[in-house]
Amino acid sequence: MKSIEYARETAYNPFYPEMMRIVRRYNLTDDVRLFQVRPPDGKKTPSVEYRPGQFMMVSVVGTGEAPFSISSSPSRPGLIEFCIRKTGTVTEALFRLKENSTIGVRGPYGNGFPVEKMVGHDLIFVVGGLGAAPLRSLLLYVLDNRELFGKVYFLHGAKKPSEMLFREEFFSMCERDDLSCFLSVDADDTGRWPARVGLVTCLFSEVKGVTPDNTYAVVCGPPAMYKFVIAELLKLNIPKHQILMTLERRMKCGTGKCGHCAIDYIYACLDGPVFTYWDVLHMRELI
Ligand SMILES: Cc1cc2nc3c(=O)[nH]c(=O)nc-3n(C[C@H](O)[C@H](O)[C@H](O)COP(=O)(O)OP(=O)(O)OC[C@H]3O[C@@H](n4cnc5c(N)ncnc54)[C@H](O)[C@@H]3O)c2cc1C
Ligand code: FES
């Protein structure tokens, strides 16, 4: 007779989390931490196959679960990375865990970025604050497949130097010849910030020579940022259906079953979290 373990291993249950080990965790800012996780040694799982822009449901046993974007790139297999801000019950429990602790992970969920359609195009990334979490995955993917894309601009803004996520990583990217990387802070409280001071929109003056019809823009950041960034992208004549944005809604199941993320006739967990500006114009509630 087949054992319960055999049934568990062979029956696909989308709500059954896979236990993964926290290999490393370190602070990116005072309240944002990067978690590098991997399946137990030697175990191959379908869940590690994902595309940039997808998210996973992460759980702490006895506390609960919440959705988090995948910050690592599928082009760098082995570890899955989550960049998590401490905001409430689940994230506080995650921050209490030490390296080698196990967490539950299910997914990946959501549509992710249409990377196949983006091939051959110029790309403009516009990132604010925690928006770096999903967009870092796409940026690393693009850099690892650099020959497939045209010009790549990466514009990243933070409130102040200590709040810029992946600061060292992005500063080292600014040295690359195949990437136009520009960083800004709203205010420099250190007096030693070596890049631009101003809102992220001030970096648009660096974007030169893109062909609008052949360009995809990718935007993720705090809600207040979208209106101004979209205005800049429209000034560059980027078509509305080629402006992509990843948006958050409250989610529970992640699989289109509970209705928590429903907006009109769409489920943000299935049809999103990546939407085009065209989608957003027809569903104002999205932002
Ligand atoms: C697709 C998706 C991807 C996400 N990616 C990340 C990520 O990469 N990193 C990260 O730190 N967070 C991310 N989040 C947000 C994260 O899931 C929430 O902050 C989550 O509620 C944290 O759980 P908690 O139990 O710690 O906080 P809670 O105790 O649930 O809530 C803390 C506070 O956040 C508010 N809140 C909860 N959910 C949301 C929401 N969806 N939108 C706005 N406010 C909310 C609550 O009202 C409360 O004020 C993502 C959310 C979605 C839907
Ligand atoms: S989170 Fe349950 S339907 Fe989207």
Distance from the CA of 262 to the center of ligand 1, in angstroms? 16
Of 230, 50, 222, nearest to 124 (Cα)?
A: 230
Angle at 17 between CA 21 and CA 139, to 5 degrees: 65
| CA 53/CA 46 separation, integer angstroms | 17
Task: Label residue 234 by pLDDT band (50, 70, 90).
Answer: very high
Q: Which of 24, 87, 93 is nearest to 58 (CA)?
A: 93
Please check the confidence at residue 11 and state whether its pLDDT lies above 90.
no
Pocket mutation for ligand 2, best pick of 54, 252, 266, 286 (most atoms within 8 Å of C-beta) = 252
pLDDT digits (tens, 9 = 90+) for 52-75: 999 999 999 999 999 999 999 999
CB atoms within 10 A of CB 39: 17
From its phi and psi, is residue 120 left (phi > 0), alpha (psi between -120 and 50) or beta?
left
pLDDT in tens, 129-162: 999 999 999 999 999 999 999 999 999 999 999 9
- Give, in order, the Cα–Cα distances in Å from 157 to each of 32, 58, 152, 170, 199: 16, 27, 17, 11, 7
Indicate the average pLDDT of the chain: 90
Residue 1: the pLDDT is 42
**Residues whose beta carbon lies within 6 Å of some atom of ligand 2:** 251-254, 256-261, 267, 269
Closest residue CA from atom 9 of ligand 1: 84
Q: Do 22 and 97 touch, CB atoms closer than 8 A? A: yes
Cα dihedral 103/104/107/113 (nearest 10): -20
- In ligand 2, the atom with minimum distance to the C-alpha of 259 is 3
At residue 242, does pLDDT exceed 50? yes
pLDDT of residue 7: 55
Task: pLDDT band for 249, please (50, 70, 90 cuts).
Answer: confident
Where residue 5 falls among pLDDT bands split at 50, 70, 90? low
Spatial CA neighbour of 66 closest among 45, 94, 38: 94
Q: What pLDDT band is residue 10 in, cutting at 50, 70 and 90?
A: low
Looking at residue 42, its pLDDT comes to 57
